[in-house]
Amino acid sequence: MSVTTFAPGRVEVLGNHTDYNDGLVLSAAIHLGVTTHAVKIPEAELRVSSRTNQRNVRVTLSGLHRLETDGWANYPIGVVDVLQQAGFQLGGMELEISSDLPVGAGLSSSAALEVSTAMATKAIFDLAIDPMQLARLCQKAENEFVGVQCGLLDHVSSVFGKADSLILIDFKTLTVETVPLPEHLDLLLFNSGVPHELVGGEYNERRQQCALAAKLLNVSTLRELTPEQVRIADLNDLIRRRALHITEENERVVQGVAALRSGQIERFGELMFASHESSKINFENSTRYLDTLVELAKGLPGVFGARLTGGGFGGSVVCLIQPEHAPEIIETVSKRYHELTGATCSPILTEPSQGARVI
Ligand code: ADP
Ligand code: MG
């Protein structure tokens, strides 16, 4: 018995670092992702190979453990481990992974790899597991087995993505709503070519600063606060700016949903630029590369908004554009970016796409 699954990468369109603060995010699955071909085998083993890096590993199901040299394999091994820990009965399996999603570009190849593994395991062993539980178990694998403290945004977006729509995720209630993107719009991503390093300390440091702000203000998470309450609170400048970013991002998501639903695309674009500015000034998770990309996109014909997407500290920006202008936007931004920074960016023109599926 065999099955093939595809799990897409994701782009966060509004709502930055809000997921682990019980907040709101507007995101989309993109058309690129990770494909996993899974075959049942009689041996009680997990065998994983990746065409991306030409590596393969083999571990016994009863002795799953983290690998040091083949760290990439900890993502699929971790998923199988958390599924077993959750009580699901699995047998031997061989996974062959291929991908058209850039790695470390902030488009969540790690979540795509986990979700496609989980979907394949679910399909091949007929597991009774609902989509939100699947997303949460994948996050658990990344948090506890791989050891990266990512939020749930990546996995939920990869699982719940909808063609032609953004999805609105509420991380307090763990509910997902669909917000149609007007037909004449596309998402243009620019990978800054400077990989993010979420395993580095900055992401965890931001999480701790958000938790500290909530603690100092006597709330369980920053979701409970408005920007106004943060502004007047007795906090030091750094912690106030971190808390302002999160609370304002939540508001921007609410305003962004209203703007999209009433067809006010320019307004939505302004919210994207404001989000980037807040990342730059208040959350300090941008880089001069990402700032340059956003500045270059700003003001070009056909660009409504642009901002960094995902964790930050490198990775990609997302622009909301009119597709007929894509060729000139790509040409102008790529050329000027290289002139200004010496780095090379890679464009990806995409549109909101369907989430993980058996193919
Ligand atoms: P991002 O999720 O933004 O792409 P991460 O650092 O979180 O970046 O995850 C990237 C890691 O996921 C890679 O370094 C690798 O270990 C693993 N990975 C992703 N896609 C593949 C693939 N196709 N084959 C092997 N490993 C992969
Ligand atoms: Mg990742």
Question: Each residue of 159-181: pLDDT tens digit?
Answer: 999 999 999 999 999 999 999 99
Instruction: Identify the pLDDT of residue 358.
Output: 98
Q: Is 347 in the pocket of ligand 1 (CB under 6 A)?
A: no
pLDDT at 126 over 70: yes
Confidence (pTM) = 0.96
The answer to whether 81 is a known catalytic residue is no
Q: Is 200 in the pocket of ligand 1 (CB under 6 A)?
A: no
Please say whether the beta carbons of 341 and 333 come within 8 A.
no
Q: Is 304 in the pocket of ligand 1 (CB under 6 A)?
A: no
Question: Each residue of 294-345: pLDDT tens digit?
Answer: 999 999 999 999 999 999 999 999 999 999 999 999 999 999 999 999 999 9
Percent pLDDT > 70 in the chain is 98
Q: Is 279 in the pocket of ligand 1 (CB under 6 A)?
A: no
Ligand nearest to the CA of 34: 1
| Active-site choice (154, 170, 186, 234) | 154
Percent pLDDT > 90 in the chain is 95
Residue type, 328: E
Instruction: Choose the residue to mutate in 10, 72, 142, 199 for probing ligand 1, maximizing ligand atoms within 8 Å of C-beta.
Output: 72
CA–CA separation, 10 and 354 (whole Å):
11
CA of 268 to the centre of ligand 1 (A): 31
CA–CA separation, 203 and 106 (whole Å):
13
Residue 130, judged by CB atoms within 10 A of its CB (0-12, 13-18, 19+), counts as: exposed
Question: Each residue of 24-61: pLDDT tens digit?
Answer: 999 999 999 999 999 999 999 999 999 999 999 999 99
Please say whether the beta carbons of 15 and 252 come within 8 A.
yes
- DSSP reduced 3-state for 71: helix
CA–CA separation, 105 and 339 (whole Å):
21
Q: Is 326 in the pocket of ligand 1 (CB under 6 A)?
A: no
CA–CA separation, 252 and 301 (whole Å):
24
Ligand nearest to the CA of 103: 1
Strands in the chain per DSSP E:
2-14, 24-40, 45-50, 55-60, 93-99, 165-170, 175-180, 186-191, 303-309, 316-321, 346-350, 357-358
Instruction: Identify the pLDDT of residue 183.
Output: 87
For 355, residues 6+ apart whose C-beta sits below 8 A from its C-beta are 7, 8, 29, 157, 158, 159, 160, 161, 162
Instruction: Identify the pLDDT of residue 197.
Output: 56
Q: β-pairing, 303-309 with 165-170?
A: unpaired
**Interval 89-93 mean pLDDT:** 97
SS (H, E, C) 185-227: CEEEEEECCCCCCCCCHHHHHHHHHHHHHHHHCCCCCHHHCCH
User: CA triplet 333, 334, 337: central angle to 5 degrees?
Assistant: 80
CA–CA separation, 116 and 159 (whole Å):
9
pLDDT at 198 over 60: no
